[in-house]
Chains A and B, each alone.
Chain A
Amino acid sequence: MSDSIFQFITLDLFPLLAATLASLVCALLGNYLVLRRQSMMGDAISHAVLPGLVVAFLITQQRLPIPMFLGAAVAGLVTVILIELVRKLGRVEPGAAMGVVFSVLFAFGVLLLSSDRMRSVDLDADCVLHGVLEGLTLNLPHDTPHTWGGIFSLSNLAHIPRPVVTLLVVLLISSTCVAILFKEFRLAAFDPALATAQGFRAGALHMLLMALVAAATVASFEAVGSILVIAMLICPPAAARLLTDRLNTQIWASLVLALTSAVSGYASAIYIPSAMGRDSVSVAGSIAVASGLILALAALFAPTHGVLARTLRQKRLTREIALDDLLAMLYRAKEIEAEPLSVASLGFAAEPRTLAIARQADLIALANDRVTLTPSGLDRARNLVRTHRLWETYLVDEAGLAPDHVHDIAEKLEHTNLTPPDAEHDPHGRRIPSE
């Protein structure tokens, strides 16, 4: 095995693994938070976990993993319950309730941290915010042979950084829960009332979800810090939500996106600065930025829900309607047997672009500044005018509107795919052209 691979495995593999696992578990659970419009709950929990960690430490006087984990998990649940209490008992708006609870708890945590007994410990609020991902290297004994078998020998299993193991366990538990309760979670996320009516106990499911989020937060904490937790809970699921309408696909997509942002964020934090001859930057921060960029890309370029796709759709619709209006105008002029209209007399219906498109599609012909409909244009225009007049008839006969009020509504309806009932004459006494 070459030295560079050995170096990668000892230095980078486990931080990368921790970041990836944390991203995966957070993204998995985040899907439901985003759907339930409770994304900020992740923010609240991850801030409020601080006092739990500190209290657990004060009680045990040691940095034992299990008490710390329990303390933080309890703090997370207490946060959820407190928020609910403040919201229900105090009738406070949910956002404000969250703000009150987590900021007070965080302040409490910071205050506890500053107490004298905590001075000597390296549990500072900074590591709560952005974690110590870089410290998760594989500390092998010096005499380890540089071979695959040497590194992954059984005796070295004990050297695997503990946060990685914790994360793996939490990921397994969460994905099992989600897999088993997929249907229940889905219903509870989209329609809690219906879920309760069907006997699912949406409230209990919600608490289970919150407990999982708290566990994921705590497990990710030591490795990646709270900021990355929030980013991972929200950004990949939000981006996935822009890409698909199916929950199943959304969850898988969010996992892929989480993986992508973890790897690319890690790479750009470590390798880009070192290529530029500088020290590496904060990995957790960089992964958060990567996930944010992925969300931005999804927001811009997602196929149906992206901003670009929407704008294009809108543009195309505008163009279609302009074309429709031009054709209908020409048809009406022809109907009253006027001379072919000149471009000038068409007014704003004859934008150069619309005219160009219509000519290109062989819908109109231009000769001596006169505009005439081609046979195919005539067909399309006749259908349009027919739909328009049918709608007018329908609106007067069935919806009881006054004949002079129906034009504008019909003007909109004629561009839709709906078919009005058949009729002979429109409310203004004009004959409705047959198809």
Chain B
Amino acid sequence: MLLGLAAGLVGVLALMRKRSLMADTLSHASLPGIALAFILATTLGVNAKSLPLLMTGAAITGVLGVLAVQWLKTRTRLKEDACLGAILSTFFGFGIVLLSIVQTMRAGNAAGLPRFIYGQTAAMLPADAILMSAIAGLSIVAVLLLSKEFAVVAFDDEFSLVQGWPVSRLDLAMMALIVLVTVSGLQAVGLILVVAMLIIPPVAARFWTDRLWLLFVLAACFGTLSGYLGSSISALFPGKPAGSVIVLTSGVLFLVSMIAAPRRGVVAGLVRRIRLRLRFEVDHVCEAAYERSLESDRPVLTHATLQDLTKTRGLDPFTRAAVATALRTRHYVRSTPAGLEPTPAALARGARVYRNHRLWEQYLITHADIAPSHVDWSVDQVEHVLSADLIRQLEDALGQDGIDLRTPTPTIGAAP
């Protein structure tokens, strides 16, 4: 749980610096360290299964891996992804070679080592748990102390360099924190899945907020929550690996966030798009009604014409029905014996849209040098989004009475 908290916090840093996959490379690169520490300890006759020792080994090769990535990235023309992948696989391959050596070693009751790959929460000793809690606590304190510095560097590293922040040292501190959390998570969730603890909670939290401090809080909450729920669920079903249950729990949290988050979520985005579309279509119907009212005194929209209007715009039946409903619920049409009659509100709205349309059209012709035949196309989209301020500016620019707003759309050759 504490690990989830710490991983959530530190993961935010990695996410902000776009270094999510760095943790992946780091955790894979820690395998040779674990194996080397084990081999060394066995040959020296020390207790080879002591966690601090293995974790030190993991941290050392992990950092070496990260340094190697940096070296490749800055000194050759290889891009970051290739460097990450190359180092990850090479180090992990070396780790596997060492593991196969360990397995053939005489003293090698090496049964404990593979657990670092997949993790085994249940196998933790109280002392190990205390050590991990200490590390997690340390990283939490560090993040809290340095959060402002990290924020500055994360958003604009060049600016903060110019401003005199010790960017490279802060980056180093950040890397160190990621190393700490990764290494302390190794035993609990395994080296492949510890990445998930660093990546998923922050990404999930990112859907809910744009504010950094809230992001920290939420990521920590998600991390803790998935740690807590995951380990409780896996306790209910003995034999299930806790690490994967924890990761799956955080995966569910991520999915929920992605779908349901109020502003950046998928549903919210969909609703926004549909509402915008509906607004445009209502605009168009109102505009058409207004144009008809210019021709005849009492404009009546029969059901058939409403359908015609929406059909010419290529709407599917579903959207057409939605537009019709929207028109009715907003009292833009009322039923009369002759058919549907647009209300004054609809005509006013239509007039507004129509006027915007003409204004923008004129503007494009006189000021933007667009061929008249192309004007209508772009106007159709922009007429909905002109702000009041912009309309005033357009009126000023074009001269209030210089244009008859009732002039029909200009055709080729009719340009002023």
Question: Which chain A residues have a beta carbon within 8 Å of chain B's beta carbons?
Answer: 34, 37-40, 42-43, 47, 86, 89-93, 95-100, 103-104, 106-108, 110-111, 114, 116, 125-126, 129-130, 227-228, 230-231, 233-235, 237-238, 241-242, 269, 278-279, 281-282, 284-289, 291-293, 295, 299, 305-307, 310
Contacts and interface: CB of A to CB of B under 8 A. Distances in A.
A241 B196 contact: no
A110 B78 contact: no
Nearest to B14: A96
Contact of A107 (B19, B101, B243, B264): B243
B203 A96 contact: yes
B34 to A, nearest CB: 14
B199 A285 contact: no
Given A241-B82, A279-B104, 11 more contacts: A34-B81, A38-B81, A39-B85, A92-B206, A104-B248, A110-B193, A129-B96, A238-B83, A242-B78, A278-B104, A285-B96
B21 A281 contact: no
A90 B196 contact: no
Contact of B20 (A34, A93, A108, A281): A93
A324 B87 CA distance: 42
Contacts of B90: 231, 235, 288-289, 291-293, 295
A38 B101 CA distance: 33
B contact face: mostly helix, strand, loop, or mixed: helix
B114 interface: yes
Given A104-B248, A228-B93, A40 B15 contact: no
A230 B78 contact: no
Interface residues of B, number: 65
A104 B207 CA distance: 18
Contact of B258 (A86, A95, A98): A86
A95 B18 contact: yes
Nearest to B28: A227
B239 interface: yes
B85 A100 contact: no
B96 A99 contact: no
B75 A299 contact: yes
B89 A99 contact: no
B117 interface: yes
B192 A47 contact: yes
Interface in B217-267: 239-241, 243-248, 250-251, 254, 258, 264, 266
Contacts of A107: 193, 196, 243-248, 251
Interface of chain A: mostly helix, strand, loop or mixed:
helix
Contacts of A104: 196, 200, 247-248, 250-251, 254
A307 B250 CA distance: 42
A241 B79 CA distance: 11
Given A108-B248, A111-B248, A305-B77, A285 B20 contact: no
Contacts of B247: 103-104, 106-107
Contacts of B202: 96
A93 B258 contact: no
Nearest to A38: B81
Contacts of A291: 89-90
Interface string B181-202: 0000000000011011011101
Residue of B92, B97, B192 with highest tally of chain A CB at under 10 A? B97
A98 B21 contact: yes
A288 B89 contact: yes
A291 B269 CA distance: 45
A284 B99 CA distance: 12
A106 B96 contact: no
Nearest to B84: A40
B266 A99 contact: no
